């Protein structure tokens, strides 16, 4: 998907919501397991049908599918194929390895699975990321500043000479590897106070923002400091939407949760 198409969707819907399809098999409603051969896909299908009017993107976390082996990969492929072409598809796989390996990861998610974007860890350097950037109209989403507690372990290490933190160095270095049309950054909503500083480094890039909802991120704070003229944000909510209810009305509950968040986003346009 081209940048213009994504931006057009955001302004048309007045929403920058990304729904995380973290289809944890243990949390899927029991009636789906009893009634359907592929309960994971059926769960995702109903979630997509219910939330599509309120979001612009979906983000399957591949770990929840990989854990189930071949059956999980099948569910993931069917889910990706089912997502409407109007919605941006992010494979949250956090790949990144030496060049030849990264090229195969890119082919898997961009060619075989037809995802629009893939999350990538930049630790091994440019040659581990550049193979992903050779695919037309595909996006690399580099881990910049993550929302988990462990982000404090390494990402805030400071260079004593320059006072630059490691995550800032990552943002400055990696943005030169691609463009605003094929490179995004993961910035966690649990660090809203950092968004103003991050925008000084990457003013025009899209930011994928996890951590809203179950992880307690502050939507108002991150949008106030993090949006740009094109909004420039994809704010993800996973558990707070897809597991809003565990009964037969789970899809309706997910629609209501997605609408609430989307309605909050509309105020920022």
Tokens representing residue 217 in the block: 């991120």
User: At 220, is the pLDDT very low, low, confident or very high (cuts 50, 70, 90)?
Assistant: confident
From the CB of residue 194, how many other CB atoms can be counted at a distance below 10 Å? 20
| 178-190: average pLDDT | 94
User: At 161, is the pLDDT very low, low, confident or very high (cuts 50, 70, 90)?
Assistant: very high
pLDDT recorded at residue 213: 61
Sign of CA dihedral 143, 265, 246, 23: negative
Burial class (CB in 10 A: 0-12, 13-18, 19+), 85: exposed
pTM of the model: 0.96
pLDDT digits (tens, 9 = 90+) for 192-208: 888 999 999 999 999 99
User: At 32, is the pLDDT very low, low, confident or very high (cuts 50, 70, 90)?
Assistant: very high
Instruction: Tell me the average pLDDT of the chain.
Output: 95
> At 40, which helix (H) or strand (E)?
helix 39-51
User: At 45, is the pLDDT very low, low, confident or very high (cuts 50, 70, 90)?
Assistant: very high
Cα–Cα distance between 231 and 184 in angstroms, integer?
13
pLDDT recorded at residue 214: 54
pLDDT recorded at residue 216: 52
Catalytic residues: 94
From the CB of residue 7, how many other CB atoms can be counted at a distance below 10 Å? 17
Count the domains in the chain. Answer: 1
| 211-222: average pLDDT | 72
From the CB of residue 157, how many other CB atoms can be counted at a distance below 10 Å? 12
| 133-142: average pLDDT | 97
**Domain CATH for 197:** 3.20.20.70
The parent domain of residue 81 ranges over 3-266
């Amino acid at each position: 998907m081209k940048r213009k198409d994504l931006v057009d969707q955001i302004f048309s819907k007045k929403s920058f919501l990304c729904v995380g399809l973290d289809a944890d098999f243990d949390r899927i409603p029991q009636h789906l397991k009893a009634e359907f051969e592929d309960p994971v896909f059926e769960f995702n299908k109903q979630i997509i049908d219910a939330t599509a009017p309120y979001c612009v993107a979906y983000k399957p976390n591949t770990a929840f599918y990989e854990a189930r082996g071949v059956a999980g990969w099948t569910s993931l492929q069917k889910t990706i194929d089912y997502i409407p072409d109007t919605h941006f598809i992010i494979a949250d796989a956090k790949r990144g390895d030496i060049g030849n390996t990264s090229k195969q990861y890119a082919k898997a998610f961009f060619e075989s699975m037809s995802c629009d974007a893939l999350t990538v860890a930049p630790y091994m350097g440019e040659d581990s990321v550049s193979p992903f950037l050779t695919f037309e109209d595909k996006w690399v989403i580099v881990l910049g500043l993550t929302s988990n507690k462990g982000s404090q372990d390494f990402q805030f290490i400071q260079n004593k000479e320059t006072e630059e933190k490691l995550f800032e160095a990552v943002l400055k270095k990696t943005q030169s590897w691609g463009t605003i049309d094929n490179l995004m950054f993961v910035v966690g909503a649990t660090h809203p106070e950092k968004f103003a500083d991050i925008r000084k480094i990457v003013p025009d890039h899209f930011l994928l923002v996890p951590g809203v909802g179950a992880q307690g991120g502050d939507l108002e704070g991150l949008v106030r400091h993090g949006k740009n003229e094109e909004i420039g944000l994809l704010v993800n909510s996973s558990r707070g939407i897809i597991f809003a209810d565990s009964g037969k009305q789970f899809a309706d509950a997910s629609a209501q949760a997605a609408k609430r968040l989307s309605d909050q986003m509309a105020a920022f346009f």
